Chains A and B, each alone.
Chain A
Amino acid sequence: MPVKKQWDVVVIGAGPAGLAAAIAACDSGADVCIIEREKKPGGVLKQCIHDGFGLIRFGERLSGPEYAYRYHQMVSERGIPVISETYLLGITKNQTDGKFLLQMQNSADSIFILEARAVVAATGCRERTARQVFIHGDRPAGILTAGTAQYIVNIQGFLPTRRCVILGSGDIGLIMARRLTLEGAEVEGVYEIKPEPSGLTRNIQQCLTDFEIPLHLSATVLAVHGKRRVESVVIGKVDQSGQPITGTERTVPCDALILSVGLIPENEIIEPLGVEMDRKTGGPIVDQNMMTSLDGLFACGNAVHVNDLVDYVSESGQTAGKAAAAYANVQQQRGLLSERRTVSARRLINIQAAGNMHYIVPQRLDLAHHVGADDGADNCAAFYFRSRVRANSALLRISAGKTLLEERRYAVVRPPEMERITLNLADLNHICSPDWNDLPGQSRLIKAELVSVSEGGDSANDNG
């Protein structure tokens, strides 16, 4: 297969992360393109017609399609090609020159190869299915994930149910409860196996309370009945360990079961490259430049960890795009000088999530390279974390060895709500001086600890 074109940066996916990455890479002078399997850019935002997007990026409450449109405009203004309706079959990395080869397929050009100095994986996430949360009983029509229901209602204009039960109180489930109600379907109730909701508080209010849709906590669907189409589901209460309580079963007649039981980052296309993964997030381990463990391969958005807000997805895309352009630039110069092959090595420190911190992204810091956060402060890096439990008063402590880098109090932390902080890396550079580097491995890491002062409920976050 001949190489069709060489790029500094190829961005995989034209969702909010990929669009932001491509814009940032372009603004950093890189020759960049976006590959996208769907017809139009925007990713899942195209079907997220509700508002609330862009409060941080644009200071407005936009709908998903509007948010996507603004980014698409920025991409178009820059003349960045979006190679749409094109499927990525696989990626390989040439060990000699460090370049990536992407095998592409579409109707117009059959199969072709793109070459890239750097790749940004902005591949998003998929929904956990009924089978992956071990729903039993029959398997008739009418069992679908909230995102699929959202596509059918918002893009295709059809109702997939007249009376449904929603399992899981993730944001998409809550949004769909309102959406289906508005379109004339009845939502019998939203059932959440955990003792507290998974979605944002404001969505409980504006999607459920506004429409008097009951939210049942510590309750789940035990079985589905129905030969051709869902006829009923069996609901049961669960105890603190999530086990069904005998005698609490209740049969609810309905024609659909809609699931909002978590999202899974999609990284199947980069996993064969041997990228190190984080079991907690389900995404690749990245440094503050959003570079994965593989040099030149960057990742961003929901492929790295599932975000609550698109604004942060775009932010991580921007970082990844900027860093990918910088990497490609160095690669190119090195190529011209050809005698120096080896990439200037990263100086990586691990960041360890401790205490009640469920995870923190990035999981590593590269002290040798830093492109800077979006805040304008070049020395800053953005971090995102989630608490493992709900706590009404929590203390965040980030320390390197014995040095405290950051301490912050939170009035409340909840697993469904991601927190963002920025750290000034200038502080780190003197702590992590070369002699610090000689310390034994155990102490050569940054510890990010979340301590609860008071704890309310014990709910592990299941978003990762």
Chain B
Amino acid sequence: MTMADARQIVCIQCPQGCTLRAEKLGTVPSYEITGNKCPRGRAYAIKELTNPSRTLTTTVATVFSDCPLVSVRTDGDIPLRDVFRAMQELNSYRAKKRLHPGEVMIADLAGTGVALLATSDMITPDTTN
């Protein structure tokens, strides 16, 4: 995932999906980014050139028979190259604690330093009526 000196990048920060042009300038790198409509685009483009990373969303098994499978996501991006390694770790993981959405399930996922959050509700009873 190393880059050529100039690259076109589709920004994935929001649904607009801006097409960015990113260029690395000089040996002490500085970057010229064009095409972005907001500052998040610039940050994304630099990240994409240096260390592309993504939020991982998937499911994990639990020990609870009423919710044997729950959805999870990383609390922020992890390096793209670590995604499959993280998936492998999660394949044999089993959640043993009931959590609300947004609560931390794993503090450091696969050595990325990024936490894994539960995203589905493992606590509230099924119905409210």
Assess whether B17 is in contact with A201, with CB atoms less than 8 Å apart.
yes
Residue pair A49, B17 in contact (C-beta under 8 Å): no
User: Are B58 and A182 neighbours in the complex by a CB distance under 8 Å?
Assistant: yes
Most chain A C-beta atoms within 10 Å of own C-beta, residue among B71, B127, B128:
B128
**A51 adjacent to B73 (CB under 8 Å):** yes
CA distance A162 to B8 in the complex (A): 32
Q: Does A206 contact B (CB under 8 A)?
A: yes
Q: Is B104 at the interface (CB under 8 A from chain A)? A: no
The residue from A55, A84, A309 contacting B129, defined by CB atoms under 8 A apart: A84
B17 engages A155 (CB within 8 Å): no
Residue of B57, B84, B101, B124 touching A51 (CB-CB under 8 A): B57
Q: When the two chains form the complex, which single residue of A50, A61, A72, A210 contacts B80, counting CB atoms closer than 8 Å?
A: A210
Count, chain A residues at interface, CB 8 A: 42
Output the nearest chain A residue to B84 by Cβ-Cβ distance.
Answer: A182
Interface residue B112 (Cβ < 8 Å from any Cβ of A): no
A62–B121 Cα distance when bound, in Å, is: 14
Q: Which residues of A contact B68 (CB under 8 A)?
A: 157
The reply to whether A63 and B69 contact each other, CB–CB distance below 8 Å, is no
B15 interface residue per 8 A CB criterion: yes
Binary flags per residue of B109-129, CB closer than 8 Å to A gives 1, else 0 = 000000000011100101111
Most buried by B among A85, A153, A154, A209: A154
Partner of B12, one of A66, A84, A179, A202: A202
Chain B 10-44, CB within 8 Å of chain A: the 1/0 string? 11111111010000000000000000000000000
Residues of A108-144 contacting chain B, CB below 8 A:
none
B15 touches A200 (CB 8 A): yes
Tell me which residues from 54 to 79 in chain A have a Cβ below 8 Å from any Cβ of chain B.
55, 61-63, 65-66, 69, 72, 75-76
Q: Restricting to A29-66, which residues have a CB under 8 Å from any CB of B?
A: 39-41, 46, 49-52, 55, 61-63, 65-66
Residues facing B in A277-300 (CB within 8 A) are: none
Nearest CB in chain A to that of B69: its residue: A157
B119 in complex: contacting residue of A40, A65, A76, A200, CB < 8 Å: A65
Chain B residues contacting A40 (CB-CB under 8 Å) are 126-127
What is the 8 Å Cβ interface bit string for chain A, positions 204-233, against chain B (1 contact, 0 not)? 111001100000000000000000000000
B87 an interface residue at 8 Å Cβ cutoff? Answer: yes
Interface footprint category on B: 35 or more
Chain B residue numbers with a CB within 8 Å of A50 are 57
Give chain B residues whose Cβ lies under 8 Å from the Cβ of A81: 128-129
Q: Kindly identify which residue among B56, B69, B83, B129 contacts A83, using a CB–CB cutoff of 8 Å.
A: B129
Interface SS of chain B: loop
Interchain CB contact under 8 A, B54 and A206: yes
Q: Is A82 an interface residue (CB 8 A)?
A: yes
Q: Which of B17, B56, B100, B126 contacts A200 (CB 8 A)?
A: B17
B46 contacts A by Cβ under 8 Å: no
CB atoms of A308 and B15 under 8 A apart: yes
Q: How far is the CB of A35 from chain B (nearest CB, A)?
A: 10
Partner pick for B121 among A69, A157, A309, CB 8 A cutoff: A69
Task: Flag if B15 contacts A157 (CB, 8 Å).
Answer: no
B10 partner residues in chain A, CB cutoff 8 A: 201-202, 204-205, 209
Nearest-neighbour CB distance to chain B for A260, whole angstroms, equals: 17
Q: Check B17 against A205 for contact (C-beta < 8 Å).
A: yes
Interface residues in B39-78 by Cβ distance below 8 A to A read 54-59, 61, 68-69, 71-73
User: Smallest Cβ distance from B47 to chain A, in angstroms?
Assistant: 13
Does chain B have a CB within 8 A of A403? no
- Residues of chain B within 8 A (CB-CB) of A82 are 127-129
Q: How far is the CA of A82 from the CA of B127 in the complex (A)?
A: 7
* B59/A49 in contact, CB under 8 A: yes
Residues of A near B69 (CB, < 8 A) are 154-157
A82-109 vs B, Cβ < 8 Å mask (1 yes, 0 no): 1111000000000000000000000000
How far apart sit A321 and B60, CA to CA, in the bound complex (Å)?
Answer: 36
Contact among B58, B126, B128 with A49 in the assembled complex (CB-CB below 8 Å)? B58
How far does the Cβ of B26 sit from chain A's closest Cβ, in whole Å? 27
A65 to chain B: which residues have CB within 8 Å? 71, 101, 119-121
Q: Is B11 touching A202 in the complex (CB atoms < 8 A)?
A: yes
A62 to B15, CA, bound (A): 13
Known A82-B129, A200-B17, A202-B15; contact A61-B55, beta-carbon cutoff 8 A:
yes
Q: In whole angstroms, how far apart are the Cα atoms of A206 and B100 in the complex?
A: 27
Besides the contacts A55-B14, A183-B58, A210-B80, what 13 more A-B pairs have beta carbons closer than 8 Å? Answer: A39-B126, A65-B101, A65-B120, A66-B102, A72-B121, A153-B59, A155-B69, A157-B61, A201-B19, A202-B10, A202-B11, A202-B17, A209-B10
Residues of B with Cβ closer than 8 Å to A?
Answer: 10-17, 19, 54-59, 61, 68-69, 71-73, 80, 83-84, 87, 100-102, 119-121, 124, 126-129
Nearest first, the 9 A-B pairs at minimum CB distance are A201-B17, A49-B71, A202-B12, A205-B10, A202-B17, A65-B120, A63-B119, A157-B69, A69-B101
Chosen A-B contacts, 20 in total, with CB atoms closer than 8 Å, are: A40-B127, A49-B72, A49-B119, A62-B119, A65-B119, A66-B119, A72-B124, A75-B128, A82-B127, A85-B127, A182-B83, A183-B87, A202-B10, A202-B11, A202-B13, A202-B16, A205-B12, A210-B80, A309-B15, A417-B15
Q: Which residues of A contact B (CB under 8 A)?
A: 39-41, 46, 49-52, 55, 61-63, 65-66, 69, 72, 75-76, 81-85, 153-157, 179, 182-183, 200-202, 204-206, 209-210, 308-309, 417
